[in-house]
Structure 1
Amino acid sequence: MKPVLILALIYLAYVDWRTFRLPNVITFPLIFLGIAFNAFSDLHLTSPNSAFFGAFLGYTLLWALNTGYRLLKNRNGIGMGDVKLLAALGAWLGWSALPNILLIASIAGIIGGIAWLKWRGHHLQQAFPFGPFLAIAGIIELLWPQLIPTLILPKLI
């Protein structure tokens, strides 16, 4: 099932990069498939409770962040497709993977965002897609779940 998830994430990254949209027709089924896969498969990636809570927490974290930003700036800071993508990653990988995913996506997003803005000649107020960075972070966490705790974190401390 990992290859299916990876292909879906690559597809979503490509679509978001090109269109600034993460289609509900892909993100919603990914959420439900992640919960079902972890609940009913012997090959599950996390416990069913962790998958359900991961979907809920992934959605709630970015939704709350966007809501706070919208109250301060009167505009969205992150798209709802990104919210649903993080919920899907939480459903597949569990709630405990969310901090690593957000850290990797944020670092990659800062680097990629600066490159995007310079390449496109935009200003800092211009939007750029965050979904590709969430997708990359999800793939990294899926394939190398101990990357942050064992390789990166000890070097930072």
Structure 2
Amino acid sequence: MLLSRFLLAVCAIIIPISAWLFAPVDTVILSCLFGWVLLALAVIDFRSLLLPDPLTLAAALLGALMVATTRPNDWLEHLIGGVAGYLVLFLVETVYLRLRGRDGLGRGDAKLLGAIGLWVGWTRLPDVLLLASLTGLLAALTANRLLKKELSASTPVAFGPWLALAGWISWLAGPLLVPSV
């Protein structure tokens, strides 16, 4: 418990430092708020497998505010990012449920990717999804190995923390795979 609180405090301190160093200058304060909301969402999802709508909405509203105040000419790219981010994971969730007859992804993940899409725009969604999938898989395999628990198709794994991490990295690092339009 003490270690997890320490790690949480370190992450909370790293957010403004990384925002100061890597976020566009005109977005540092909004970036810090976005980072702290992402951190809260990651912790909650990790503990409860839930992404609360009010926090996801806060991330989306911060993204809309960022676009309106610092990138008004790019609003369409960011709006498409928000809608596409939501729809991609909504489609995955729906298709999986129809094919397998059970939930495989929560609606909160779709909402979170939609909020992240507002921040990064549609061209960076592939970066976010790839990075989130790889880090989530690596974390699940590492936890499996360290905890000596068997993973199965029905083992619940929180995806929100990895979406949050990937969204933060993509926001700060810029395009990784697909250059911005």
Report the TM-score range of the alignment, normalised by the length of the smaller protein: 0.7 to 0.9
Q: Name the SS for the 2:166 alignment partner.
A: helix
Once the 2 structures are TM-superposed, how far is the Cα of residue 149 of structure 1 from its aligned partner? 5.9
Q: What's the offset of the Cα at 1:46? A: 7.8
| Range with bigger deviation, 24-33 or 94-103 | 24-33
Q: Which residue of 1 aligns with 2:122?
A: 95
- Counterparts of 1:28-107 in structure 2, within 5 Å, are 28-38=57-67, 40-41=68-69, 43-44=70-71, 47-107=74-134
Where in structure 1 do 4 or more consecutive aligned residues deviate above 2 Å? Answer: 43-46, 115-120, 146-150
Which whole-Å CA distance do the structure 1 matches of 2:53 and 2:38 have between them? 13
Root-mean-square deviation (CA, aligned residues, Å) is: 1.9
What residue number does 1:117 align with? Answer: 144
Q: Which has the higher contact order (CA 8 A, sep 6+)?
A: 1
Superposed CA deviations along residues 76-126 of structure 1, whole A, max 9, x for unmatched, are 111111111100000111111100000100111111121233427243121
CA pair 79-30 structure 1, distance change in 2 beyond 3 A: same
| Structure 2: gaps spanning 5 or more residues | 1-29
Identity of aligned residues (%): 32
